[in-house]
Amino acid sequence: MSQSNKPNRRSFIGKLASLGGVLGLAPFAINRMIGAEIAKPVNTITPLDKPGATMVSTWNHGIQANIAGFSALSKGGTALDMIEAAAKLVEEDAEGLSVGIGGLPDRDGIVTLDACCMDHTGQAGSVAAMQDIMYPLSVARKVMEETPHVMLVGEGAKMFALESGFKSTDLLTEKAREAWLRWMEKHEYKPVINIENHDTIGILALDNEGRLSGGCTTSGVAYKMHGRVGDSPIIGAGLFVDGAVGAATATGLGEAVMRTVGSFLVVELMRGGLHPQAACETAVKRIIDSMDVSNLQVGYLALDKTGRHGAHAIHSGFNYALTTLKTENLIDATHG
What residues form DSSP beta bridges with 46? none
Q: Give the count of beta carbons closer than 10 Å to the beta carbon of residue 181.
A: 10
Q: Is 68 left (phi over 0), alpha (psi -120 to 50) or beta?
A: alpha
Minimum distance between the CB of residue 315 and ligand SD4, rounded to whole angstroms? 12
Considering the rule CB under 6 A, would residue 221 count as an interface residue with ligand SD4? Answer: yes
Please tell me the distance from the alpha carbon of residue 234 to that of residue 150, in angstroms, as a whole number: 10
Beta carbons of 48 and 303 less than 8 angstroms apart: no
* Distance in Å from the first CA to the final CA of the chain: 17
Q: Is 200 a catalytic residue?
A: yes
Minimum distance between the CB of residue 168 and ligand SD4, rounded to whole angstroms? 23
Question: Interface with ligand SD4 by CB under 6 A: which range of 245-253, 259-267, 274-282, 320-328?
Answer: 245-253
User: Of the candidates 66, 138, 173, 200, which one interacts with ligand SD4 according to CB under 6 A?
Assistant: 200
Minimum distance between the CB of residue 203 and ligand SD4, rounded to whole angstroms? 13
Q: Which amino acid is at 159?
A: M
Q: Give the count of beta carbons closer than 10 Å to the beta carbon of residue 140.
A: 34
Q: Which C-beta is closer to ligand SD4: that of 84 or that of 114?
A: 114
Q: Which of 200, 218, 251, 260 is catalytic?
A: 200
Site string for ligand SD4, 247-276 (x = CB under 6 A): ----xxxx----------------------
Maximum pairwise Cα distance, the chain: 63
DSSP characters over 271-296: HTT--HHHHHHHHHHHHHHHS--TT-
Q: Which C-beta is closer to ligand SD4: that of 134 or that of 250?
A: 250
Please tell me the distance from the alpha carbon of residue 281 to that of residue 95, in angstroms, as a whole number: 32
Total number of residues that touch ligand SD4 (CB under 6 A):
12
Considering the rule CB under 6 A, would residue 232 count as an interface residue with ligand SD4? Answer: yes
Minimum distance between the CB of residue 222 and ligand SD4, rounded to whole angstroms? 9
User: Of the candidates 220, 243, 262, 307, which one interacts with ligand SD4 according to CB under 6 A?
Assistant: 220
Residues 6+ apart with CB under 8 A from 85: 68, 69, 71, 72, 77
Q: Which C-beta is closer to ligand SD4: that of 33 or that of 172?
A: 172
Q: Which C-beta is closer to ligand SD4: that of 254 or that of 276?
A: 254
**Interface residues with ligand SD4 (CB under 6 A)?**
199-200, 218, 220-221, 230-232, 251-254
Catalytic residue IDs? 200
